[in-house]
Structure 1
Amino acid sequence: MADDQDLEQLSSKELHDRAVRAAVRHGDVKFLWELLKSIPAARAEAGDLGESEADIKYVLPMLDDYVHAGDGKLADVLRPTYLAYLRKHS
């Protein structure tokens, strides 16, 4: 996989896509679950406070968030999560 400098150059969306693909390829359910659990806090940090509270209570919105965790401000907030995963598994 890419070295650390190459990873830093990727957009948050690209990091998300690579990290999720790697986790799926390796059957890393733990990472995917940790990502799901971190989305409500990331939504709040990205300024979407109303959604962050609702997501904690409902599984379906969490799955929807998972699908969109590589988009916009949410991806930027989760960027360190994607970088750490890719660095660990490169």
Structure 2
Amino acid sequence: MAENGENFEGLSTEDLRERAVELARERWDVRFFWRLLRLIPAAEAVAGNMEASDASVAQASGFLYEALSVESDPKVQEALRPVYVEYLRTRED
């Protein structure tokens, strides 16, 4: 049983996915979505969809590219400035 008393074992995978994605959207939980993006290619491979696995990697990189395209806005760049500085200071050479 889950912490809130709900038994998730009785739910379909589709229902679980919908609930998890909706909760992550409500919470703006980027880490959850990032985790899914990282796991989808492996899940495709486990499901025997090797071609889809390769396509998933391409799609994930496309989503990331699209998300980063908003970064061309100077105001967005300025808001992200501390992130750039932190990354450059802490990156491994």
Shorter-chain TM-score tier = 0.5 to 0.7
Alignment of 1:22-37 (within 5 A): 22-37=23-38
Aligned residues: 62
Residue 5 of structure 2 is matched in structure 1 by 3
Q: Helix, strand or coil for the counterpart of 1:59? A: helix
Structure with bigger gyration radius: 2
8 Å contact kept, 1:7–1:15: yes
The structure 1 segments of at least 4 consecutive aligned residues displaced by more than 4 Å after TM superposition are 60-63
TM-score by length of 2: 0.56
8 Å contact kept, 2:37–2:60: no
TM-score by length of 1: 0.58
Q: CA RMSD in A?
A: 2.5
Identity of aligned residues (%): 39
Gaps of 5+ in 1: 64-90
Q: 1:55 to 1:24 in 2, by over 3 A?
A: same
